[in-house]
Amino acid sequence: MAACTPEPTAIDWLRLSAASTQGPGVFGGVTFIQTVNTADGKAPATPGANPGDFAHVPYTAEYFFSKAKGGGG
């Protein structure tokens, strides 16, 4: 991703590796999840007025689920 230019107001692009790829279901065998083309989603610059306040910050992203060659599943 050396040439990507994510929006400065967007949450970071992310690539996660699976801790386990075993088990049934649609995600069985998935070894990587990538979040790309994000828009918005950064936390507010200032804290809430009270401890425990929540900030709901909408965002959009594309998710890619992939399997390494020879991965389980």
**Residues 17-57: pLDDT tens digits?**
998 888 888 888 899 999 999 999 998 989 999 999 999 99
Single-letter code of the amino acid located at 51:
P
Structure tokens at 39: 């828009």
Whole-model pTM over 0.75: no
**Which of 20, 27, 16, 32 has the alpha carbon at shortest distance from 67?**
32
Give the residue extent of every domain in the chain: 1-42+57-73
